[in-house]
Structure 1
Amino acid sequence: MSEPPKSITAAILVIGDEILSGRTKDANIGYIADYMTNIGVDLKEVRIVPDEEAEIVAALNALRHRYTYVFTTGGIGPTHDDITADSVAKAFGVPIDVDERAVELLLTRLKREDLNEARLRMCRIPQGADLIVNQISAAPGFKLGNVMVMAGVPRIMQAMLDAVAPTLETGAKMLSQTVEAGLPEGAYAAGLGDIQKRYPQTSIGSYPHFNTSGGGFNNQIVVRCKDADMLADAVAEVVALIEKLKAERGV
């Protein structure tokens, strides 16, 4: 029997009062989720915490010991409430100070006399961290252990994610196939559950969606698996179940 595909897991920690208040609408979670799926990393959890050191430290320590990677977004700017870097340093128990590598990156965009105290805050990096290059505004993120600390501004975060992605270990990519049910969920729920039990390495979900071209709600069954043969077998059983139920109903 072949070994099951290796699973590389990840979590996202979104940091910011503005997200929790609703003032800023998060645009990073979905982007990172798609990115991880495409490179073969299983996103398992997302947490959102305020700009409070104790909350950031507690969430980070919980996530970094549970998953292969943790991606944080937000809180690495120049203002007083940008406390992510300090919180990460505290979580790892390491000192933090202005890092000359980060200063040199900022100097590619600014004159040294323009590096005021606020801008130098963006150069404070925990000891032992590797920098994550930021091609948009130069101020870097950083990687410490299995934690990637990135900006909250979507365009900058995306640039940082592109920069760090080649350094990540990845696993088998998740494959998926969608079956249009054409029946109410209650009609196939029991049968779908039986199929799921026979294929425990798959993830089978039923999702109502609104048909914008008319016809109201329709149901889609999505089967996900990292093994192509197992996916095909499970999908075949789902299709057979739906066809059988439709025949019985005269649909």
Structure 2
Amino acid sequence: MTNKQPVIIRAAMLAIGDELLSGRTKDKNIGYMADRLYDAGIDLTEVRIVADDQPAIVKAVLELSEAYDYLFTSGGIGPTHDDITADAVSAAFSLPCIYDEKAMALLAAHYKSRDMEFTPSRQRMARMPQGAQHIDNSVSVAPGFIIANVYVMAGVPSVFQAMVENILPTLRTGSRFHSRTIICPFGEGVIGIPLREVQETHPETIIGSYPKFENGKFSTELVVRARDEEKLAAAAAAVEKMLADIQQ
């Protein structure tokens, strides 16, 4: 009888915007995406940040969408001149960037209900590659979109989060990680070599080492992760034995 092989779904994220690279805006979307994908059983394997530069966006979209099961983007689908993500993603897939009829109707009704003019700038938020599917936006109506395996979402954190929650139930998911946290009273300089030996002995686990410095003393939080609970238990037991041996 053979063990069932884990299903692994891999994703990348592309955060778009000059303001991220200048430090003017502090990104809040990458951490949120990482948390939600981890919970869902999707491995976020790579993250890139690029400027509002169409060739750079096109290059990143092509590379990441080809390399991973999913690519999630944030930023650059607003109403201003530097919101060029829709143009860049359309170019990446050699598709025309159009004013989507359904998106135009949604936005026109939204602004009419608020007694606001549906200006050309606001109409830009209805632009997307021809044939794209919508990602619903329960916060500010303007939709994100899906083309192939690329999910294009807003940069504003509240809108991004709403879009993420809408797409999560539609995604293929893989085998989830299980984890165990072990508090180590030693600094990484003490445990570095024996911990590496434990990791090499248990290659199907991931052992993370997170140092702390409190009250003038170093300690380390060790987190063991694995998709197989038995392999997790074996690696955690090996870490605990390593710590007991050091204390002797």
Query: Which TM bucket (shorter chain)?
Result: over 0.9
Q: How far apart, in 2, do the equivalents of 1:80 and 1:139 lie?
A: 17
Paired residue for 2:64? 63
Q: CA deviation at 1:163?
A: 0.9
Q: Does 1:5 pair with 2:45?
A: no
Q: CA deviation at 1:202?
A: 0.7
Q: How far apart, in 1, do the equivalents of 2:212 and 2:105 lie?
A: 51
SS at match of 2:110: coil
Q: Does 1:124 pair with 2:131?
A: no
How big is each residue's C-alpha offset from its partner over 1:152-198, in whole Å with a ceiling of 9 and x where there is no partner? 00000000001111110001111111111112323222221122112
Q: Does 1:235 pair with 2:236?
A: yes
SS at match of 1:61: helix
Give the residue type in structure 2 aligned to 1:133: D
TM-score by length of 2: 0.95
Contact (CA 8 Å) 1:108, 1:138: kept in 2 or not? no
| Structure 2: tracts of 5 or more residues without a match | none
Give the residue type in structure 2 aligned to 1:32: M
Q: CA deviation at 1:215?
A: 4.7
Q: CA deviation at 1:114?
A: 2.1
Q: Does 1:135 pair with 2:151?
A: no
Q: CA deviation at 1:216?
A: 3.4
Paired residue for 2:153? 150
Q: Does 1:168 pair with 2:181?
A: no
Paired residue for 2:201? 198
Q: CA deviation at 1:239?
A: 0.3
Q: Spell out structure 1 runs of 4+ moving beyond 6 A.
A: none
Q: CA RMSD in A?
A: 1.4
How big is each residue's C-alpha offset from its partner over 1:87-127, in whole Å with a ceiling of 9 and x where there is no partner? 00111111111011111221341129822211111001101
Q: How far apart, in 1, do the equivalents of 2:107 and 2:235 lie?
A: 53
How big is each residue's C-alpha offset from its partner over 1:17-66, in whole Å with a ceiling of 9 and x where there is no partner? 00000111111111110011111110001100000000000111111111
Identity %: 48
SS at match of 1:109: helix
- More deviation in 180-189 or 92-101? 180-189
Give the residue type in structure 2 aligned to 1:22: G
TM-score by length of 1: 0.94
